[in-house]
Amino acid sequence: MKKIYSIFILAILFACNDDFLQRFPQTSIAQENFFKSTTDLRTYSYQFYDYLGASYMDRPSDNTTVEKGGIQSLMLGSVTADNAGGWGSWGTVRAINFFLDNYKKAQGDAGEIKKYGAMGHFARAKCYTGMVQTYSDVPWYSHVVKDDDTEMLFKPRDTRELVVDSIIADLEFATANLTNESSKALLSKWAAYTELSRFCLYEGTYRKYHSGETDLHVVKSADYFLNKAVSAAEAVMKSGNFAISSKGNPGEDYGDLFNGGTELNSNPEIIMYIDYEDDKREHGSRLVLDFENGISRTMADSYLYMNGSFVPKSVTDVTPLEQVFENRDPRMKQSLYFPGYILPSDPIPYKISINKTGGYGQIKFIPKVKAKHWEGFYSCYTDLPLYRYAEVLLNYAEAKAELGQLSQTDLDKTINLLRDRVGVGHLFMNPPIDPVNEAINKGITSKQKAELLEIRRERRVELFAEGFRYDDMMRWKLGKIFEQPQQGIYVPSSGMVDVTGDGEVDYFISDSESKKPADLPDNVSVLITTSDDSPVYLENGNYGHIMFKFEQRGIGTFIEPKYYYRPIPTSQMLLNTNLKQIFGWN
């Protein structure tokens, strides 16, 4: 009987009230309860900012020496579809599409809702830009893909044409619906215009210099994008909101933009910047000097004389470090390590590690004051520019010159404004051609080639270490440059180098121990290039520019057009057999 009774109790407990077994999360939000207000949109949109990053180094590119990252593995044939990782930022695409699929549900001011939508479109464009630059054709998704949507999941690549058009549509939606922002840490209409001009310039020049590559599935002409680049840049220029920052100190104004020397939020040149704060968000920009980041001779040689003329090869061939910086574009000493340079953290001049770097080092982005920047590896908190006006001007000038429409007026409102800040002589139409610069920039097809060569030089110098160089090399189809061994500073046959600028020898470099003077002071670092543990050697045995043994052992081949692209990993090819490798990656 008792048994029956207890079974009866059980029956009651199961039959009624299953609240006990219904439990809901207490510290996360159900999808249905979100996207109600513009505050929700703003909250969600904050994550888009985490997709944006500023660079403070040009690795890998021909601006640097030792660390070529994946480029060397690629050129030596070690990269295959089997071991290549990557393939897309699909998590980011989904997060953005989830927002774009839902943001219109919010109640509130229509303009504000559109503004947040524009942020989503901008973020998606930015995300896809990276993918197009890596893989060319990629599948485009404008909505969240569901796990049972096999058609979308297993679709082949979309053409570059389609994806690029979609990116531009996203960016144009952003320029139309974003607004002026009170803070330059926020995404504004002008940042979107800058991105639009950057992307259109990229795509325009890409189509121009890569035309004829099989597997480049495009229809529209280069000029279509170059014109868009011009008009987007023009929009920023005509807004009147921005100007080249100058306080009349040619020796500091440029460098201060990158080393905490000026407040970026109020700086007229800054379109958007990334805010860093002590203990909260920090970067490692103090590591740009040494730490596997050496600067190449071709970068150093790009800086003009004060009067605006280039330095002939006959001079750069024999000038030791002590004299290199004389009479040069002031941006050089605000970008590159020079003899006598003192780190804010140190009491005495810094002695660059020339055996690692080749002797040229980077100081652009090193914090200007000591503060706590030196307390850890990634402990710098100087704000970093993300979009600055100088780039807009350079985009404008380059697009114009590629279109063959550049005029002196254009130069005066772009390149020459940059030169004015540092007091370097102006660029004029039909400038003399620097054979070195011409050799680097092979294949220019514009009728304004002479101007274009100088505009490219200006871009390399002005935007040094801001992360543009690799993308520029790719769109100008300069991959073959990676086949040329890099060089560092020039070492005379005496082997004596003074890197600290105090007139005392710091390094003795030679191909033979026996050439070492007997009375060399203790504090002189000795580098015998024939020794196994020397990573460098001299161009001409016992004198010449420093060169690198790792490149001597094998520099590889930059296979065109294959190496402008990366393969889709085999694992993804196996999952989706509709994906096909292009540009010979199979």
Partner 1 sequence: MFNLYKYKLMEKKWFNDEGPSRSLFKWLRVMRLTVLFLLTALIHVSASVYSQQTKLSISLRNASVKEVLTQIENQSEFFFLYKNENVDVNRIVNVSIKDKSVEDLLDQIFKGTTVSYEVVNRQIVLVDNGKSSPVAPPSQPQQKPISGKVTDSSGVTLPGVSVSVKGTTNGCITDSDGNYSLSNVPGTGILQFSFVGMKTQEVLVANRTKINVTLSPSIENIDEVVVVGYGTQKKSNLTGAVQQVTSKELENRTVINVGQALQGLIPNLNISIPNGRANTTPNMNIRGMGSLSGNEPLIVIDGVPSTMTEFMAINPNDIENVSALMDASSASIYGARAAFGVILVTTKKASTNEMQVTFNSNVSFRRPTVLPDYILDQNIVMKAKVDASGGWYNLKDIFGISDWDYLDQVTKGEAPQIKVNPEDPTKWITAGRTNWYKEAMRDFGVTQNHNVAVSGSSSKTRYYLSGAYSRQEGVFKYGNDIFDKYNFRGKTDFDVTKWLTISDNVSYNNDYFDEPSHGFSIYSLLNTPTLDVIKNPDGSWTKSGATIFGSTIEGGRIYTRNSRFWGSFSANANFFDKMLSITAKATFLRGNKELKNIWIPVQYKTGPNVIETLNPILDAQRDACSDRQNVFDLYADFTKSFNQHNFHVLVGYNQEYRYSDWFASNRNGLITSSVPSISLATGDKIVNESATDWATRSGFFRLNYDFNGKYLFEVNGRYDGTSRFPKKDRFVFVPSMSMGWNITKENFFAQFSNVVSSLKPRFSYGVLGNQDVDAYAYLATMGAGTTSSILPGDKTEQQTTIYAPGIVGNSLTWEKVKTTNVGVDFGFLRNRLSGTFDYYNRAVLDMLTKSKTLPSVLGTSEPLANAANLVTKGWELSLTWKDNFKLLNSDFNYSVSGNLSDSRAWITKYDNPDGRLSDYYAGYEVGTIWGYQVNGLFQTQEELANHANQSQFWTYPGKVTPGPGDIKFEDLNGDGQIRAANTIYDMQDQKKIGNSRARYNVGFRAAFDWKGFDFSMFIQGVLKQDWYPSAGYDFWGLNYGPWGNLQRYQYENSWTPEHTDAYLPRIKGYAASTWSGAEMLQANTRYLQNNAYLRLRNISLGYSLPAVLIQKVKLSQLRFFASGDNLLTWTGIKVPNIDPETSFGDYPLQKMISLGINVKF
Residues of this chain, 260-279, that bind partner 1 according to CB under 8 A = 274-277, 279
The interface region with partner 1, picked from 11-19, 195-203, 211-219, 226-234 by CB under 8 A, is 11-19
Q: Containing H/E element for 545?
A: strand 544-548
Candidates 54, 57, 93, 489: give the one binding partner 1 (CB under 8 A): 93
Residues 31-90 that bind partner 1 (CB under 8 A): 31, 34, 40, 42-47, 49-50, 52, 72-73, 76-78, 80, 82-83, 87-88, 90
Residues 430-459 that bind partner 1 (CB under 8 A): none
Residues 126-145 that bind partner 1 (CB under 8 A): 139, 141, 144-145
29 binds partner 1 (CB under 8 A): yes
Whether the Cβ atoms of residue 81 and residue 569 lie closer than 8 Å to each other: yes
Name which of 60, 543, 534 is nearest 295 in CA terms.
Answer: 60
Instruction: Write each residue from 497 to 536 as x if it is in contact with partner 1 (CB under 8 A), else as -, in one continuous string.
Output: -------------------------xxxxxx----xxxx-
Farthest-apart Cα atoms in the chain, separation: 111
Instruction: Write each residue from 279 to 318 as x if it is in contact with partner 1 (CB under 8 A), else as -, in one continuous string.
Output: xxx-------------------------------------
Q: How many residues bind partner 1 (CB under 8 A)?
A: 106
CB count in 10 Å sphere of residue 494: 15
Separation between Cα atoms, residue 308 and residue 329, nearest integer Å = 8
Give whichever of 133 and 355 is closer to partner 1, judged by the CB atom: 355
Give whichever of 72 and 231 is closer to partner 1, judged by the CB atom: 72
Give whichever of 5 and 214 is closer to partner 1, judged by the CB atom: 5
Give whichever of 49 and 224 is closer to partner 1, judged by the CB atom: 49
Residues 403-432 that bind partner 1 (CB under 8 A): none
Instruction: Write each residue from 315 to 334 as x if it is in contact with partner 1 (CB under 8 A), else as -, in one continuous string.
Output: --------------------
**In whole angstroms, how close is the CB of 86 to partner 1 at the nearest point?**
10
27 binds partner 1 (CB under 8 A): yes
CA distances from 276 to 53, 54, 285, 356, 379 (A): 12, 11, 12, 30, 10
Instruction: Write each residue from 179 to 198 as x if it is in contact with partner 1 (CB under 8 A), else as -, in one continuous string.
Output: ---xx-xx------------
Whether the Cβ atoms of residue 104 and residue 537 lie closer than 8 Å to each other: no
Give whichever of 18 and 326 is closer to partner 1, judged by the CB atom: 18
22 binds partner 1 (CB under 8 A): yes
The burial of 532, by beta-carbon neighbours within 10 Å (0-12 exposed, 13-18 middle, 19 or more buried), is given as exposed
- Strand 384-388 to 487-491 pairing: unpaired
Name which of 404, 499, 398 is nearest 455 in CA terms.
Answer: 398
Separation between Cα atoms, residue 355 and residue 372, nearest integer Å = 29
559 binds partner 1 (CB under 8 A): no
**In whole angstroms, how close is the CB of 323 to partner 1 at the nearest point?**
24
The interface region with partner 1, picked from 6-14, 431-439, 486-494, 512-520 by CB under 8 A, is 6-14
Phi/psi at 467 (5° precision):
85, 15
Separation between Cα atoms, residue 418 and residue 423, nearest integer Å = 9
**In whole angstroms, how close is the CB of 493 to partner 1 at the nearest point?**
21
25 binds partner 1 (CB under 8 A): yes
- List CB contacts of 385: < 8 A, sequence separation 6 or more: 54, 257, 258, 264, 269, 270, 272, 273, 274, 466
**In whole angstroms, how close is the CB of 542 to partner 1 at the nearest point?**
18
Whether the Cβ atoms of residue 473 and residue 479 lie closer than 8 Å to each other: yes
Give whichever of 330 and 488 is closer to partner 1, judged by the CB atom: 488
Instruction: Write each residue from 467 to 486 as x if it is in contact with partner 1 (CB under 8 A), else as -, in one continuous string.
Output: --------------------
Each as own residue / partner, the long-range contacts of residues 181-186 (CB below 8 Å, 24 or more positions apart, any chain) are: 183/265, 184/264, 184/265, 184/270, 184/271, 184/272, 184/273, 185/265, 185/272, 185/273, 185/274, 185/275, 186/272
Give whichever of 119 and 288 is closer to partner 1, judged by the CB atom: 119
- List CB contacts of 471: < 8 A, sequence separation 6 or more: 133, 202
**In whole angstroms, how close is the CB of 89 to partner 1 at the nearest point?**
9
Give whichever of 435 and 554 is closer to partner 1, judged by the CB atom: 554
Separation between Cα atoms, residue 118 and residue 170, nearest integer Å = 8
Residues 340-379 that bind partner 1 (CB under 8 A): 346-348, 351, 353, 355-356, 372, 374-376
Residues 144-173 that bind partner 1 (CB under 8 A): 144-147, 152-154
14 binds partner 1 (CB under 8 A): yes
Give whichever of 99 and 209 is closer to partner 1, judged by the CB atom: 99
Give whichever of 277 and 326 is closer to partner 1, judged by the CB atom: 277
Give whichever of 174 and 579 is closer to partner 1, judged by the CB atom: 579
The burial of 27, by beta-carbon neighbours within 10 Å (0-12 exposed, 13-18 middle, 19 or more buried), is given as exposed
CB count in 10 Å sphere of residue 484: 15
- List CB contacts of 209: < 8 A, sequence separation 6 or more: 443, 445, 475, 476, 477
Candidates 268, 423, 575, 584: give the one binding partner 1 (CB under 8 A): 575
Separation between Cα atoms, residue 292 and residue 535, nearest integer Å = 12
Per the listing, tokens 């990573």 go with: 535
